[in-house]
Structure 1
């Protein structure tokens, strides 16, 4: 049989196409945002140094050193912004120290250049890097812009304006006004991406919760009805025996046994309904769930995957996908289903951040191993420093193992933990 692998794109589960598409991670977007803000600040420091102030080499060096110290002090504020979810009053020293550095460096630069705007810009820029509430941040940015415009007009009429040519002065002033506005827009865009990412994760969790509730409702309705009928029939049989009517009591016992058979058949039909999803759809659903949680997913599937034993691999795919979601998903995940001779091989790997994805508890993998072993297959689990891999191999023609008569059936798999 040919082994031309196909890949699963994002989109509705029933369709399986042949193009690979990786979902983006907002982590990379944050690094772009942070690098952009630092680049603009570095350019501003360069303009400070390059502005022809006419104060000599010593003051130029002073401006350069103070500007670089301030530039470095904004890095902790940016890193804190990525993770902080509280107003700027929390963790006082983590905020206060960079602001004091910005104020001191601004005073040095302003005194050396003789410009009020340069004395205030570092403190304004650092203050805008704090995690302000959305409405308050806009007002702070507007007030800072107005303040900088006023100082720009004052500097244009001050004694230092004579030392700066017209082109250089306007460029320096315009850039000082441009940086705070650009910073606010960049951080606002990052906040929007964080909100969207959380919404994707919530959507994936909500989908899994709705599916569990639907299954629980179906089982409750089915078993609740039959158990109530059986209880009534047994109660009636007990009363008939008390009235010395064994024939009628026996009829009720036969009816109760028939109700038990109906309940068992209904349970089988319900389980079959959930197991009857084609493997291609199972894999497409798994990819959609992982991508909805923000994980970069790559799936490679044999074109003849529908010929694989779905009654074995279907629950395995659902269980391993649930495990990846429950244990954080990580940055990436890879799924592969292929056939080699008379054996089907399913493999799922995900980024595990160097920790044990099994979490030290749960019986999900044990349930998977029992299910696969009953079909004559095997399960291999590999835990690496940065990845977690589960490999399942099953025969192309599965023959369920025969349990001894009277022996209890295999325990149900734990669909929520390893």
Structure 2
């Protein structure tokens, strides 16, 4: 759903406040995909370690060698968790190698590769830990593709050597499985990372689209204001100039031009009011839909419950309240979830918004608003409409409830 003009103009500050956080904080669904991808990579690595140990045990290899492979494999697996976790926040400007994050995985991979290669006599397992650590570096997209092709080709060549030399001697199915898993791991890792890069790019494009829509509406509002005021000011300037010229010779005509200038001032003022009213008079269902769109664009899991007759609710009173509370959620909420509702019962319209509490809260759990608006402004608007404000502070949630009388209210409201 697109963002409507009135909401986009009123929510410009909220989008700006949320844009920086949205660059880092991804949506809930994309974050869930990250965990699926990361778990798949580390689980594949752990399976290789477990299969290695199991195969050695089945072939009656010495307990010391088996213990060395098991402990070394566990250390290698743990070392790869750090670069895998770091990849979630990777940016295009990140260096290829972050020493404190990638170096331990490379060194441990090298040591483990030597140990497991000597114990198993498999070239694939000897090269795999180092290659896997290299796959987790911050390769540029095009370079990574060439690197994984070269690494996979190398592992396949080593697998063929292992098949011709070692596997003919052992003949165990476990060894063949190890060779296959080892050759496939880099391709599985890089394909998972590539898929994650695609999802992040799509998620950021979606957020950028929402911000662009708001920016375009701000530009349109600015253009309308410029055209309106520019026209009237130009007319007023000409009328005042003509009045100045006529005054010495024809005072009556000069006074007439002054009166015309005053009429032009009133017309400009009324035109500005009409323009503001046109952008403020967004139906409340659209206000709520736009609020949900804006919250989701900032990475918040947002939902709204809207009464079927919400279009008849007092938009003048509740519209600014919806925009103000949405802005406060973006600025002060924890960015995980928000629930909005607009319902009618017993002759009263009830608007409620609930969100998880962020870090920027006061001692009571309510977000401070240093802009001078916030809850005081919401309470004032509710009181002017004959309603009331109710604030509920919890350990994990913060809820604002605004009620206004439904009698005599229409889509434009009475404010």
**Displacement after TM superposition at 1:264 (Å):** 2.0
Cα deviations by residue, 1:317-368 (Å, 9 ceiling, x for unpaired): 2333344446687122211112343432212233454334957632442544
Q: Shift of residue 75 of structure 1?
A: 0.8
Aligned-residue offset at 1:388: 4.4
Distance in 2 (alpha carbons) for counterparts of 1:142 and 1:174: 16
Instruction: Indicate the larger mover: 181-190 or 381-390.
Output: 381-390
Find the aligned partners of 1:25 and 1:352 in 2 and give their Cα distance: 21
Q: Does 1:170 align with 2:160?
A: no
Q: What secondary structure is seen at the aligned counterpart in 2 of 1:331?
A: strand
Provide structure 2 residue ranges, at least 5 long, that are not aligned to the other structure.
5-26, 410-414
What pairs up with 1:387-402 in 2 under 5 angstroms? 387-397=397-407
Residues 96, 137 of structure 2: 8 Å contact kept: no
Distance 1:54 1:277 in 2: 77
Pairing of 1:81-92 with structure 2 (within 5 A): 81-85=87-91, 86-92=93-99
Structure 2 counterpart of 1:208: 214
Residue 101 (str. 1) matches residue 105 (str. 2): no
SS at match of 1:101: helix
1:290-309 per-residue CA deviation (whole Å, 9 max, x = no partner) reads 33444322111222212210
The answer to whether the aligner puts 1:362 opposite 2:371 as a matched pair is yes
Q: Deviation at 1:90?
A: 4.8
Counterpart in the other structure of 1:286? 291
SS in 1 for 2:359: coil
Instruction: Measure, in 1, the Cα distance between the counterparts of 2:397 and 2:140.
Output: 37
For 1:67 and 1:92, the matched residues in 2 are separated by 21
Q: Return the alpha-carbon distance in structure 2 between the equivalents of residues 298 and 164 of structure 1.
A: 60
Residue 357 (structure 2) pairs with residue 347 (structure 1): no
Deviation at 1:166, TM superposition (A): 4.4
Determine the structure 1 residue equivalent to 2:138.
131
Distance 1:43 1:362, change over 3 A: same
Gaps of 5+ in 1: 1-10, 15-22, 400-409, 411-418
Distance 1:328 1:218 in 2: 34
What do residues 256-277 of structure 1 show as CA deviations (whole Å, max 9, x unaligned)? Answer: 1211221122122212212332
Q: 1:392 to 1:280 in 2, by over 3 A?
A: same
> Residues of 2 paired with 1:364 and 1:216: CA distance?
23
Is residue 2:205 matched to residue 1:199?
A: yes
Indicate whether 1:50 and 2:45 are aligned.
Answer: no
Conserved? CA contact 1:309–1:397, under 8 Å? no
Aligned residue number for residue 37 of structure 1:
41
- Between the aligned partners of 2:97 and 2:393, the Cα distance in structure 1 is 39
More helix per residue: 2
Q: Write the deviation string for residues 42-95 of structure 1: whole angstroms up to 9, x where unpaired.
A: 111111112244422221121111111111111111111111224454532221
Distance 1:30 1:224, change over 3 A: same
Q: Is the 8 A contact 2:124 2:183 kept in 1?
A: no
Q: CA RMSD in A?
A: 2.7
- Contact 1:41–1:71, Cα closer than 8 Å, also in 2: yes
1:314 is matched with: 319
CA-CA distance at 1:199 after TM superposition: 0.7
- Corresponding residue for 2:157? 150
Give the alignment's TM-score, normalised by structure 1: 0.82
Match of 2:371, SS state, is coil
